[in-house]
Structure 1
Amino acid sequence: MSEFTYGNLIRFENKTLLLKYLSAGTPYIQLNDEWLAFFTEEDGEQRSSDFVKKLSEHCPILYFYNLEDHFWGFEILHQGDLMSSCHFSYDLESELLFDIARDRFPDKGEIAGFLFNSKEGQDAYEQIQAELRDPVVFEREVRKHFETVCADDFQLFGINEESIDELHQLLSADTYLNREFDAIDRFKNVLNLNEMSWIRFERTEDRDNVEYV
């Protein structure tokens, strides 16, 4: 069985500040001396909720997800805004194809239906697929994909300069292009987040260390 983990992380020192804004019954876990994780029904797999974005007005929040066989990533939310995000997919070529198609055909609505259920869409799919086979085009699109990452924003969580430098190198297009698929483990090691594993809102009841607001 593959790991499906996603939830919201704050620095432990912000516990008192933030928990008063959470609904009664919200599960949370003290991961270690540095991090506290909390979980809501609104948590998505790849995206934080509007509720959590609103909560970030009170302190920075790191939304983290790891669907082991598919992708992992994070969002940094602060003062109600999305500051930085990273999506590291193990099937990024397919995702890039859909992203390119959405950019080229913004009026087509649900892009998968367009690509697979019309002659125009099938032709577009084959054209974009052929473009991405060109290593130069593929690298350009991967680098564009990682432009949403700003490792410096981890300073919001008190991460030291040495660790920020490590994150700059790790959270880059080069990591993906070099097929460094151990990046998830290195990311968690740098931030001391190894305990954030095999957990999400639906899997909190069977954890001994879960507390509730």
Structure 2
Amino acid sequence: MSEFTSGTILLAKDKEAVRKHAAKGSVMMQLNDKFVVYLSEDVYIGEIIPESMIQLSQEIPLLYFYNFEDHHWGYRLLAQGEEAADLHIAYEYEEEIAYSIAKKKYPDMGFNELYFGGLLEEIREELEAGSVFKESFEAVFNNCHLELFSLLDVSDEQITRLKEILNIDYIHHDISEGMELSEEFKTILGIEEMSFIRHERVVESGEYDELF
């Protein structure tokens, strides 16, 4: 069974702040001694960050982590009311780029129109003929800003280890190897428990500690 994980991680000592901004129906659960995870229906992978999370991040640092195993994984680090760092590694990164450009070029068309009308493939072929895909992949780690993980009480040693794995040379310029980094990332951070955790599953199972 493929993993679908999505949630916002914060220091356990900061969980009181969540109660002021929690969305109705959201939940919070203890991840381990150091971290808790806040779960809501919002999944903001490449999307606009919910205003409630922006407000919460003005008070405490937040790490939104996601792993949709067959598709993509990554994180968005929020601090002082803005996105301070992010990483997004996707098997279908070429398709994501083509679709992003297509949406800008044809804003009134939906995915099905772009796909079945052949426009998406046309844009993809144009990009493939150039160097856009290669340049985009080479830049995948550019916004990691791993030093900012210190905001989550991550040690210098842990940050050094993250820097060793989150770079293009470590994955031998291979997207498949990049997709496999999620487990190493979690182990270094000490969030191994962040697996098969998402709002609907935790609510259904009743494994949460607080329901808002």
Distance of 2:52 and 2:195 partners within structure 1: 23
Q: Which amino acid aligns with 1:177?
A: H
**Counterpart residue number, 1:188:** 186
Distance of 2:57 and 2:24 partners within structure 1: 18
**Counterpart residue number, 1:177:** 173
Distance of 1:158 and 1:165 partners within structure 2: 14
Distance of 1:14 and 1:144 partners within structure 2: 33
Q: Answer yes or no: is the 8 Å Cα contact 2:8–2:64 preserved in 1.
A: yes
Q: 1:52 to 1:158 in 2, by over 3 A?
A: same
Query: Unaligned regions of 5+ residues in structure 1, if any?
Result: none
Distance of 2:172 and 2:65 partners within structure 1: 18
**Counterpart residue number, 2:96:** 95
Q: TM-score, normalised by structure 1?
A: 0.82
**Counterpart residue number, 2:128:** 129
**Counterpart residue number, 1:140:** 135
Q: TM-score, normalised by structure 2?
A: 0.83
Distance of 2:133 and 2:46 partners within structure 1: 23
My pick for the range that moved more, 90-99 or 108-117, is 108-117
Q: Answer yes or no: is the 8 Å Cα contact 2:138–2:173 preserved in 1.
A: no
The alignment yields a C-alpha RMSD, in angstroms, of 2.6
- Once the two structures are superposed, residues 60-89 of structure 1 have per-residue CA deviations (whole angstroms, 9 ceiling, x without a partner) of 000010101111100000111000010011
Q: Answer yes or no: is the 8 Å Cα contact 1:115–1:125 preserved in 2.
A: no
Q: Which amino acid aligns with 1:183?
A: L
Distance of 2:150 and 2:31 partners within structure 1: 20
Identity, % of aligned positions: 28
- Once the two structures are superposed, residues 156-206 of structure 1 have per-residue CA deviations (whole angstroms, 9 ceiling, x without a partner) of 101111111111222223336144243111000001111111111101134
**Counterpart residue number, 2:39:** 39
Q: 1:205 to 1:124 in 2, by over 3 A?
A: closer
Structure-to-structure mapping, 1:1-213, within 5 angstroms: 1-23=1-23, 26-45=26-45, 47=47, 48-99=49-100, 101=101, 106-109=104-107, 110=109, 112=111, 113-114=113-114, 117=117, 122-131=121-130, 138-174=133-169, 175=171, 177-178=173-174, 179-180=176-177, 181-207=179-205, 209-212=207-210, 213=212
Q: Answer yes or no: is the 8 Å Cα contact 2:94–2:124 preserved in 1.
A: no
Give the C-alpha shift of residue 45 in structure 1: 4.9
Q: Which amino acid aligns with 2:125?
A: E
Distance of 1:55 and 1:182 partners within structure 2: 31
Q: 1:206 to 1:160 in 2, by over 3 A?
A: same
Give the C-alpha shift of residue 24 in structure 1: 6.1
Query: Unaligned regions of 5+ residues in structure 2, if any?
Result: none
My pick for the range that moved more, 79-88 or 169-178, is 169-178
